Structure 1
Amino acid sequence: MKRFRKYALWLSIVALMLVLSGCTNTDPITSESTGIWNHFFVYPFSWLILLVAKVTFGNFGLAIILVTIMIRILILPLMIKQVKSSVAMRALQPQMEKIRKKYKNPKDPAQAQKMQAETMALYQKNGVNPLSGCLPALIQMPILMAFYYAIRRTPEIASQQFLWFGLGAPDPSLVLPVLAGLITFLQTKVTPNPAMDQNPSMKMVFYIMPVMIITAGIGLPAVLPLYWVISGVFSVIQTYILYKVYQKPELAK
């Protein structure tokens, strides 16, 4: 189970690196674009941005903010499922720690098998599925990545001005990249993650991510850090509220 969570984490990091580096197709997206990813994932989001932009009288900055919030609301059920799983797993941490101490040599195949069997019995007794916390995050990933590329590959956006910056050029004030990095860091703080607390190398990765966001945001069109800021702010507020709502009483001690 730990191995699955580890793979899920590194898959998320690889996806983030691909997004930040722009290593995929950045040609303009249209209804004629071929391929399942382009036609059924990226183009619908591009179409939605253009549709909302008409409602906002051609204000693409405002359109992207509105669509970002719409998408975050759309994936809210997945977020709720993820939070519930995280809270349930945290509630079981003391009992899981006792099991780990009981079997002090997990490299011994016999002890490892007994520890795994006892851990799974604990999950079943409490109705907890450890995979239910990872799967919602993996399902969200293609949705958010498709929206990211829809923003990047919709040519109408690049020529637009919003607030003090042009959407198609880097933010000259660097305000957006720095904000995006700070909000990314804040997201790691408001999201409880026992695995990260127990693994120093994993914790280091989460500290590196905000630096990657800032570095990439400095050179990318300002529309992308704008999206990261809005998405991040909504995610922080959403996460804080959900953990308050679903927090179990015994965890408040």
Structure 2
Amino acid sequence: MNPLYPIEWAVAWLMVQFHALLSLFMEADSGLTWALSIVGLTVVVRTLIIPLFVRQIRASRAMQMVSPELQAVQKKYKGKTDPDSRQKMAEETMAIYKDAGASPFSSCLPVLLQMPIFFGLFRVLFNKLPQAAAGEGFGPLTPELARSASNSTFFGDVTIADSFLNSGDGGITTKIVAGIIIAAMCAVTFFTQKELTMKNMPKAALEGPMASTQKMMLYMLPFIYVITGPGMPIGVLIYWLTTNVWTFAQQYIVIRATPTPGSDAEKDRQERINDKRAKKGLEPLDFTPPKKVSEPDPEPERQIRVQPSAKNTGGKKLSDEEKLQRAREARAKAAEERRAAQEAAGETPSAPQKGSSALDKGAKKKRKK
């Protein structure tokens, strides 16, 4: 069983429904009506995946913000090819992704989800439409509607089933229309990548592997369109161009409203805000982030000089009476030493008065004077 059958059936059903709606005020057998039906199909698909697009924007922004940390990890393990270093590098990288809530695969979700729809539309226009026009209907695409889509023309004899390589009755006109659509696809994609995506990246993210990937995508996607576009039916090219324009519009709205901090897009938004305030006579806002106040270095701890403990105390705390007794003994010992010194010098030592110390005698002499 064809795994794309449900998607092909849904694509055909949406085309038929939009064709019925547009036929109310447009010619039913006009190629422009069928072309706009494909545009309507694209709008429905892109509307359904808006939540994924928002997730893609958040993941892309998180990837941009952690780019400096990823570069630091790569620099740390630069030149180390042993298994342990490579494993540690992978673990640190995944830890950075986890802490920032970033995922290198989230940005691919909208593209991956659209690929089955893209191939489903390709098979409907390339295979199912001719088969249904030959009498083998395909779900909602009856033989009458299939013949209308196959034979309806615009810009002369161009149909949505023709391609650059298989121009059909349109001839050179089909090739010109296909070439213009492919050129428009390349221009929109290039402008989206360069003027919006790169402008919304902080300066730190404009260097390193991520910036190299963005620059590669800048030229690789248009190259893919040039290689694969000529073999695609005009209807598929219309779908491709419409989804590229939708992507550009979404990116423009999101980046204009909520740019990445530190990017040129954020500076443009700040200038727009101040320009509006100036027109209203208000003072401009200062968007300069406040400088972090560096905390003063802690003063070195002063070394406290610990007095040596008294000897022969046995580690016990002395009472007041014991301290007084020791002070008296020290004064008595000092007085004995002075008398011995006086006798050695041939002087007559003075006897201390009863009940007083040498210090008391000195104090009395001083009062007499």
Q: TM-score, normalised by structure 1?
A: 0.72
> Residue 44 in 1 paired to residue 10 in 2?
yes
| Inter-partner Cα distance in structure 2 for 1:106 and 1:242 | 40
| Inter-partner Cα distance in structure 2 for 1:136 and 1:167 | 25
Aligned partners of 2:118 and 2:236 also within 8 Å: no
Q: 2:152 aligns to what?
A: 160
> Residue 101 in 1 paired to residue 75 in 2?
yes
Moved more, 48-57 or 138-147: 138-147
Aligned partners of 2:161 and 2:234 also within 8 Å: yes
| Inter-partner Cα distance in structure 1 for 2:231 and 2:106 | 37
Question: What's the CA shift for 1:63?
Answer: 1.0
> Residue 183 in 1 paired to residue 197 in 2?
no
Moved more, 222-231 or 163-172: 163-172
Who wins on radius of gyration, i.e. which is larger?
2
Moved more, 106-115 or 133-142: 133-142
Q: 1:12 aligns to what?
A: none
> Residue 89 in 1 paired to residue 63 in 2?
yes
Is the alpha carbon distance of 1:231 and 1:125 closer, same or farther for their aligned partners in structure 2, counting shifts above 3 Å? closer
| Inter-partner Cα distance in structure 2 for 1:224 and 1:130 | 29
Q: 2:238 aligns to what?
A: 226
* Equivalent AA in structure 1 for residue 105 of structure 2: L
Q: 1:132 aligns to what?
A: 106
| Inter-partner Cα distance in structure 1 for 2:81 and 2:260 | 34
| Inter-partner Cα distance in structure 1 for 2:59 and 2:262 | 15
Aligned partners of 1:81 and 1:136 also within 8 Å: no
Question: What's the CA shift for 1:87?
Answer: 0.6
| Inter-partner Cα distance in structure 2 for 1:220 and 1:125 | 43
Q: What RMSD, in angstroms, separates the aligned Cα atoms of the two structures?
A: 2.9
Q: 1:73 aligns to what?
A: 47
Q: 1:117 aligns to what?
A: 91
SS at match of 1:166: coil
- Counting matched residue pairs gives 217
Moved more, 84-93 or 180-189: 180-189
Question: What's the CA shift for 1:196?
Answer: 5.8
Q: 2:2 aligns to what?
A: 35
SS at match of 2:36: helix
Aligned partners of 1:52 and 1:63 also within 8 Å: yes
Aligned partners of 2:35 and 2:235 also within 8 Å: yes
* Equivalent AA in structure 1 for residue 114 of structure 2: Q
* Equivalent AA in structure 2 for residue 74 of structure 1: L
Q: Runs of 5+ in structure 1 lacking a partner? A: 1-33
Question: What's the CA shift for 1:208?
Answer: 4.4
Is the alpha carbon distance of 1:147 and 1:199 closer, same or farther for their aligned partners in structure 2, counting shifts above 3 Å? same
| Inter-partner Cα distance in structure 2 for 1:115 and 1:215 | 38
SS at match of 2:105: helix
Q: Deviations over 1:135-182 (max 9, x none)?
A: 443233223332343344334222112355432334242322322332
Give the % identical residues. Answer: 28
| Inter-partner Cα distance in structure 1 for 2:107 and 2:232 | 32
Structure with more contact order per residue of length (Cα contacts < 8 Å, sep ≥ 6): 1
| Inter-partner Cα distance in structure 1 for 2:96 and 2:227 | 44
| Inter-partner Cα distance in structure 1 for 2:161 and 2:110 | 32
Aligned partners of 1:65 and 1:227 also within 8 Å: yes
> Residue 55 in 1 paired to residue 21 in 2?
yes
Q: Runs of 5+ in structure 2 lacking a partner? A: 131-145, 168-173, 268-369
**Larger helix share, 1 or 2:** 1
Question: What's the CA shift for 1:220?
Answer: 4.2
Q: TM-score, normalised by structure 2?
A: 0.51
| Inter-partner Cα distance in structure 2 for 1:209 and 1:137 | 12
Question: What's the CA shift for 1:91?
Answer: 0.4
Aligned partners of 1:180 and 1:214 also within 8 Å: no
Question: What's the CA shift for 1:72?
Answer: 1.2
Q: 1:198 aligns to what?
A: 212
